Structure formats: structure tokens, C-alpha cells
Amino acid sequence: MKIADIKHAFVTGGASGIGLGAARGLAARGIAVTIADFNPDALADVLAEGIAKIRGVQMDVRDRAAWVKAKGDAEAAFGPVDLLISNAGIASVGYELADMDPESFDRIVGVNLFGAFNGISAFAADMRGRGRGHIVSTASIVGLASPKNGVGGNYVASKFGIVGLSEVLRLEMAPHGVGVSVLCPGYMATGNGRNPIRFANDSRKVAGLGDSPGGRVEDLVPRLLAGIEADDFYIISHCEHEWPNVERRSKELEMAFNGGDKYK
């Protein structure tokens, strides 16, 4: 979808990080943007900047009733949504699955994966009916290949799920003129590391979590917008060094399809 043809974008996780960067990039092109975020303080800070054509809504992406209301209010203000960026997500504190609090698993998957589905449920049918629109869901490089260490299995599972969800959605929506992309960035300096503290993701291990060095959102946003315009499915950024891990997984799959060395 041409960026110039987008009239209204709805961005979750829009008060910080990648979501805020995308919202600012779209608004700078004259597009009306509704940003949704769980954090009311961050949302208020963004709205206080007075950026033209940006409105906000505080919501939990797990709350399906909130999605219905947010969609109705957004479209009453700015018209039909042409672009949905489901970016809301929280990080994991990194416990091994055998030691993980089940509530922590539910919370990560609920926000990251179910949140993305809830956005699809709210907007995809209308886009299909109009024969126009684009949906982007933010996964991660760890949604393409599990990392060696350091990332919780709940987070990895949620991001793999987003990739699969998006693959199916792309096949379903393509005949109707609606584009679908999955954003798979490497580690970004977004403040996402603070989210386990904010959401009380796992009270056993929150001390010292916070921001860490990573890629700049300002450098990712042009790649994101170019990927939308080109109707790319995979939009990959700031993770070139991760290719060997993705390649390893691809080769393991290829070997398995060929019977595997142990069967030869």
C-alpha cells in the first residue's frame, strides 16, 4: 500500500519505542494516527507534545471489549483505518521454561500474541470488505530462530506465533487487496526491558531490569515504511548478525526433509 494513500493508521504500543517512532513517521507524512498504549503516563507525555493528527487511547490489547470501543472512537474521529500496526509487546525476564511462573507465560503470550490477533479481529474484516489496507504485526528475529540463550521461552513462543499468524493472514487477505507484513527487528533500544517491571511480569526477577544498548528506532522506521509500501512480508532490521542462527535453523529443516544424516 502506498504510504501516500494511507489516511488513518492505528498503532498499538504507540507511546514508546517502535510504535512511537512509526506514529511520528506517519504523522510527519500527514497521516492521521491513533496510538493505543497500556501506559497512561507515556501516552499523556506523547499527546502533550501536540503532534498534529495524533490522538491517543489507553487500553490493554488483551481486552477485546476495549478494542471494539477503541475502533469505534478512532474511526469516528479520523475515518476508516487503512493501516494497523500491532506493535504492543512486553519482554521476558529470561527464566527457563522449567522454572517459569505459568502466569508469566500467560501474560507474555496474552499481550504479544493474543494482542496481535485481537487487532486482526477488530480491523481485518473491514479492510477486506473495502479491498484496501495493510496490517503489520511486530514479531522479532527470535520469531525466526530461537536464540542460543538469554531470552525467555514465553517471549520466543509469542514471537514465533506472530510469524505464523501473519503468514496465514497474508494468504487469506491477498486476494482482497489487503497487505500483510511481519516486522522482525533485532534488539532495539526501545525501553522494552522495563516492561516486565511495569507489568509485574515475574516478581522473582525484576531487579536491575531496564534499558540496554540496541538499534535506533529512528533507523528502523524508514525500513518499516518502505516495507509497507513494497508489500514485503518479512521486514527485517538491525539483526544482520543473527543470520547464521536463522540459517542454522533453515539447514536443520532442510536436513530433516531430506531424511537427516543419521538415516543415510
Catalytic residues: 155
Enter the C-alpha cell of residue 7: 489516511
The dihedral through the CA atoms of 114, 119, 125, 131 has a sign that is negative
E strands along the chain, which residues? 8-12, 32-37, 54-58, 83-86, 134-138, 179-185, 234-237
> Which residue stretches of 141-180 are H helix?
153-173
> Which H, E and C letters describe 17-31, residue by residue?
HHHHHHHHHHHCCCC
240, three cell numbers? 544482520
Closest by CA to 196, choosing from 238, 149, 155, 235, is 155
Helix (H) / strand (E) element for 40: namely helix 40-48
- With beta carbons less than 8 A apart as the criterion, state whether 81 and 123 touch: yes
Q: Cell for 254? A: 532442510
Contact 81, 74 (CB under 8 A): yes
**What's phi and psi for 206, nearest 5 deg?**
-125, -15
